[in-house]
A and B are shown apart, each in its own frame.
Chain A
C-alpha cells in the first residue's frame, strides 16, 4: 500500500509539473528580416522561459505587411496569438476591445510619453519597446569630398541642403537615399519634419488634426522649400520604387548616397554584418539634425514616435502569463540590453549615458542630435485616420517628393481630404 501511495504521489507530481509546463503562449512578430531585434526578443523569451519554467513562448516571425493582414483575419476569427506585434496607430484594436488591458505592468519603468501614446480611454494597451526619431544620417567622407562642413550645432539650413544636393548631383552622386517602394511613410519625412519646425508643436498638431488649413501661408512656404530640394535632385531617380531595405544598401553600399533620412532604427539593418545587408566595416557614418527652416517657430522640434511594441490578445487563455512576459521588458536592465543590442531608442526608461559596447560612440552621436530638442510624439500616419491618412500617404509619401504633383495641387488634395475647399 505504501509503495502504491508513493507511486501515485509521484505520478500526481509529474502530472502537475507536466500540466504547468503545458502553458504555451503564441506570439506573432514583425522583424523577420531585422536580425538584431529578433535576437533581442528571442533572448528575452529565453530569459522569461528560464525564469518561468512552466511557460513556453512560441514566436513566429513575419514582415510587417503580411503580419498585419494575417492578424486582421485571425483576430476576427478568434484564432489570433496570445501576444503580437503592434504599433500605436492601430487604434482599431483598442476600439474593438481586442487587446488586453496592460495596467498591471510596471509602468514606473516606462517613459510617461510612451504610456500616453499607447493609452486608450485611460488604459494602456501596448508595451512600447521601440521608439525612434527621424535622423539625417550621412557619409562623412562623401560630405567632406563635396566640401561641406557640418555646423557645430549639427544643423544645416534649408539652403544648405539645396547646396548639398546640387554639389552631389554635379559629381553624379545621389544626395539622399530615400525610397517608398514598400512603405507608406519614408517619403513624407521631408515634409513633416519641415512642417513641424516651421509651425511648432501646437500648430503642427492642429494641421494634422484638420484644425489648420493646408492653405496656410506657412505650410505653403514650407512645401515650396521642400520642392526646391527635390527640384535640386535630392532624391534617387528610383525613389518611387526603391524599397526600404534597398534604400539602406543604396546609401551605404551601392551606389552610395551622401545622406539618408530615416528613422533611428536604421541601425537594426545597417549594423548587421555586411553579408547580411549591413553597412561596410568602417563605414564613415555621421548623424546631423534635419535642416533648419527659414522663419521657423521651432527649429529644435522633431518627431519621436513609438514603433514596434507588443500587445496581448484580449481573448488569450493565459492573461497572467502574457502580462508577465510583457512585464519582463519593463525594467532598466531590459532597456540597457535593447539599447546596446538594437541601438535604437526605447519607450522603456533607460540611462543612455551608461550604454557601453562597440557602438557606445554611436549613441553619443545620436544623443547629440536630440540635445535640447522638443518632441512631437507620432508620425502623421500615426496621428491621422481614414481618408486624410490615405491622401497624405499618396501625396506626401510619394507624388509630391517625386515631383509629379505641384504645391498647389498637394494643398488642394489635403484640404479636400479634410473636407475643406
Chain B
C-alpha cells in the first residue's frame, strides 16, 4: 500500500505543467515545420491545394538563383564565425590584459550588438555611401582616393561589405562571452604558465585557448546558425542585389513567397524545407566534429 502511494504519479499536475508549453511548441514550432514539409509537395494557392509530388524539388535542383543564394549564405556562414570569434577573442584578451580605458572599450565594443539589424543596416548604408559615406570619406582623407568604392553597389564587393558589417556587429558579443570565460579560468594554471616564463603568444595558444575551447566552439556554432538564417540586414541594405551577389536563402524564400507574381506557397516551402535539412545537417556535423573527447581537468 505504502509503495503504491509513493509510486503513484501525479499525472494531473504533470499535465497541467506540461500542457501550456506543449501546446505552444506544437502550435508555433512543430506544426509550422510539418506544414512546411507538407506544402513542399503541393501547389498551395489561396483557394486550392494540389499535390505535385516531387515537382517542386526537381525545379529547385535546377534553380540557379537558389544555388547562388546557397553559395552566398554558406560563404557568409563560414567566414563570419571565424572573423567574429577571432576578433572577439583578441578584444577579450585586450580587456583581460587590462588595457587603459578598458571600461570605455568594453561598452563601445559591445554596443553594436544592442542595435537591431534594421538600425545597423541603415547606418551602414550611410557609411558605405559613395559620395559622402564615412568609409570613402576616410579613404579620401588619407589620400587613398583610388580605393574609393561603391561598397554595396559592386557585385564583387557587396557580400564582403555585408560580412564586414555582421563582423563589426557581433564581435563585441563574442568578446563579452569570451571575457567571462577568461575570468573563470583557474588562476593557478595561468600563473604556473607565467612562472615558466611562458610568453603571451604561447600562453594564449597552449593554455588559454584549450581551456576556453568549449566556449569558442559554442560561439562558432551559434554564429554559423545565425548567418545561415540571415535576412534583415540584406533586406535593408541590398535586397539581395546587385546581381544576386548578396542573395541569401532567406531573402530568396521571401521573394518567392511575397514578391514574385504568384500566390503559390509550395515552392517557397520547398526551399525552406531543403534549407532546414541542410542547416540541421551542418549543425549536427559541426557538433560531431567539435565534440570534446576528453574532459579537461584542472
Binding site for B on A (CB under 8 A): 68-69, 72, 75-76, 89-92, 95-98, 236-241, 385-387, 389-390, 394-395, 398-399, 402, 404-405
Contact = CB atoms under 8 A, between A and B. Distances in A.
B131 A72 contact: no
B243 A405 contact: yes
Interface string B110-131: 0000000000000001001111
Contacts of B202: none
Interface of B: 45-47, 65, 125, 128-131, 150, 152-155, 241-244, 255, 257-263, 265
Contacts of B265: 76
Select the residue from A72, A389, A405 with max chain B CB neighbours within 10 A. A72
A399 B130 contact: no
A96 B263 contact: yes
B46 A402 contact: no
Contacts of A241: 125, 128-130, 150, 152-153
A402 B242 contact: yes
Contacts of A95: 263
Given A92-B263, A238-B131, A241-B153, A404 B243 contact: yes
Contacts of B255: 390
The secondary structure that dominates the B interface is: loop
Nearest to B130: A237
The secondary structure that dominates the A interface is: helix
B125 A398 contact: no
Nearest to B239: A182
15 contacts: A69-B258, A76-B263, A91-B261, A98-B46, A237-B150, A238-B129, A238-B130, A241-B125, A241-B153, A386-B262, A389-B260, A390-B65, A394-B244, A402-B153, A404-B242
A217 B263 CA distance: 37
Contacts of A92: 261-263
Contact of A240 (B131, B150, B258, B262): B150
Given A98-B46, A390-B255, 4 more contacts: A68-B258, A241-B129, A390-B65, A399-B155
Given A96-B45, A96-B47, A398-B241, A240 B260 contact: no
Contact of B243 (A97, A98, A387, A398): A398
Contacts of A236: 131
Given A96-B47, A237-B131, A404-B155, A72 B150 contact: no
A174 B125 CA distance: 21
Contacts of A68: 258-259
Nearest to A65: B259
What are the nearest 8 A-B pairs in CB distance? A240-B153, A237-B130, A399-B243, A398-B242, A76-B46, A92-B261, A399-B242, A238-B130
A90 B47 CA distance: 17
A352 B257 CA distance: 41
A60 B152 CA distance: 34
B258 A72 contact: yes
Nearest to A78: B46
Contact of A389 (B65, B155, B242, B261): B261
B258 A239 contact: no
A238 B47 CA distance: 44
B114 to A, nearest CB: 25
Contacts of A76: 46, 263, 265
B261 A385 contact: yes
A181 B22 CA distance: 44
Nearest to A398: B242
B264 to A, nearest CB: 9
A269 B192 CA distance: 71
Contacts of B154: 402, 404
A96 B258 CA distance: 15
Contacts of A96: 45-47, 263
Given A96-B45, A237-B150, A386 B263 contact: no
A90 B260 CA distance: 9
B32 to A, nearest CB: 14
Select the residue from A68, A75, A398 with max chain B CB neighbours within 10 A. A398
Nearest to B261: A92
A75 B155 contact: no
A240 B45 CA distance: 35
A313 to B, nearest CB: 12
A96 B43 CA distance: 13
Contacts of A238: 129-131, 150, 153
A73 to B, nearest CB: 8
A92 B263 CA distance: 7
A76 B45 CA distance: 8
Contacts of B258: 68-69, 72
Contacts of B259: 68
Nearest to B243: A399
Contacts of B262: 92, 386
A68 B154 CA distance: 28
Contacts of A385: 261
Nearest to A97: B47
A227 to B, nearest CB: 16
Contact of A386 (B129, B244, B260): B260
A240 B129 CA distance: 10
Nearest to B237: A241
A240 B246 CA distance: 14
Contact of B263 (A69, A72, A237): A72
A240 B130 CA distance: 10
Contacts of B125: 241
Contacts of B47: 96-97
A98 B261 CA distance: 14
A75 B46 contact: yes
A188 B260 CA distance: 18
